[in-house]
């Protein structure tokens, strides 16, 4: 009656779920030599998938690791690949030369850190993307480098090719230069997108081709151009985070008037020049233009003399509840986070 359940008493399904939380190296070191059943589950069970993590590594060690995967016939069992070299190591290029990504036909998640434009172009070819029919999550961080004359057009072409890949749904792009989406011409199936370096104007173009988009996080670093066109906002877009590295309050207000279906809004800024009249404006604005909003989050630097008045302006009626945190940020200001939730 008081006997304990052993790990080996668990069903195959539960053991497989545990293995898939581990990297391939960890799962091999833990389970490889325990017994025949666990070895079979790890290497031969049709439901088992593995996560491959490549950190700083020399070419010889990388090739040895990929040889092992090939020998054990695990290439089609890898569902997640994460390559995070420092810039002095070109592990991404070596990896793709030795074992091109299109061989990993069951790949679902791909994370590439410190990748150059040339490396990305060699990986995300039409042939490769046509083989990665299960790829749903992509994290890609571009490294800084010497920009050639045609860098901008090549970069926009590559991003457009990635965004229209039919199976992709969750994409994070950290780019070395602003994204404009000028070459995006076909609909994308993306539902979650996080991007650095863009303008509000570029988001106008993005929305035209992302009908399934539900959540967008964007860092605004370029002053907005005048825009008189009617915004076509995806009806599915219910969550929006905008990070302003420049003062964009007036343009931001004009931009947000179009999001009547928005349920969650997060505004992040880093300057301390926002006047208190702008903070008191949010309640009336949400009531008029964002009737579906249930969560409003505001992060900003506030001068020490204005903190009390700033927080007071976010005490809203009509079932809105306030949470606020304050962290000193220099001698004369604090980093204030306001979260208003409507119940």
Residues 291-320 have pLDDT tens digits of 999 999 999 889 888 899 999 999 999 899
Q: How far apart are CA 253 and CA 289, in angstroms?
A: 10
Residues 9-32 have pLDDT tens digits of 788 888 878 877 777 777 777 766
Residues 136-185 have pLDDT tens digits of 999 999 987 666 778 889 999 999 999 999 999 999 999 878 899 999 99
Say yes or no to pLDDT of 52 above 70.
Answer: yes
Taking the CA atoms of residue 49, residue 53, residue 59 and residue 61 in that order, the dihedral angle to the nearest 10 degrees is: -70
The CA–CA distances, whole Å, from 8 to 13, 19, 36, 39, 148 equal 12, 13, 11, 12, 57
Q: Tell me if 31 sits within 8 A of 19, measured CB to CB.
A: yes
The predicted structure's pLDDT at residue 77: 86
pTM of the model: 0.84
Per-residue pLDDT band at 5 (split at 50, 70, 90): confident
pLDDT (average), residues 120-136 = 93
Q: Does domain 62-302 have CATH number 3.40.50?
A: no
pLDDT (average), residues 86-111 = 82
Say yes or no to pLDDT of 210 above 80.
Answer: yes
């Amino acid at each position: 009656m008081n006997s304990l359940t052993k790990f080996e008493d668990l069903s195959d399904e539960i053991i497989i779920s545990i293995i898939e939380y581990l990297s391939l190296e960890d799962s091999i070191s833990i389970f490889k030599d325990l017994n025949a059943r666990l070895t079979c589950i790890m290497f031969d069970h049709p439901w088992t998938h593995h996560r491959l993590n490549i950190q700083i590594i020399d070419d010889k060690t990388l090739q040895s690791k990929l040889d092992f995967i090939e020998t054990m016939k695990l290439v089609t069992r890898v569902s997640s690949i994460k390559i995070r070299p420092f810039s002095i190591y070109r592990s991404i290029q070596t990896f793709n030369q030795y074992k091109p990504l299109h061989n990993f036909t069951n790949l679902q998640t791909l994370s590439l850190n410190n990748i150059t434009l040339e490396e990305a172009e060699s990986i995300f070819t039409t042939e490769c993307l046509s083989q990665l029919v299960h790829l749903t999550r992509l994290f890609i961080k571009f490294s800084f480098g010497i920009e050639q004359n045609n860098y901008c057009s090549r970069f926009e072409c590559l991003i457009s090719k990635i965004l229209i890949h039919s199976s992709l749904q969750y994409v994070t792009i950290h780019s070395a230069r602003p994204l404009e989406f000028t070459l995006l011409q076909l609909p994308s199936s993306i539902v979650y997108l996080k991007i650095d370096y863009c303008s509000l104007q570029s988001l106008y173009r993005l929305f035209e081709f992302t009908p399934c988009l539900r959540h967008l996080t964007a860092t605004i670093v370029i002053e907005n151009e005048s825009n008189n066109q009617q915004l076509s906002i995806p009806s599915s877009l219910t969550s929006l985070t905008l990070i302003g590295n420049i003062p964009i309050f007036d343009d931001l207000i004009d931009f947000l008037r179009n999001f009547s279906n928005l349920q969650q809004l997060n505004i992040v800024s880093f300057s301390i020049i926002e006047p208190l009249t702008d903070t008191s404006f949010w309640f009336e604005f949400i009531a008029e233009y964002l009737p579906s909003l249930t969560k409003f989050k505001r992060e900003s630097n506030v001068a020490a003399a204005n903190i009390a008045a700033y927080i007071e302006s976010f005490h809203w009626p009509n079932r809105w509840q306030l949470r606020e945190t304050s962290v000193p940020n220099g001698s004369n200001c604090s980093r204030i986070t306001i979260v208003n939730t409507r119940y």
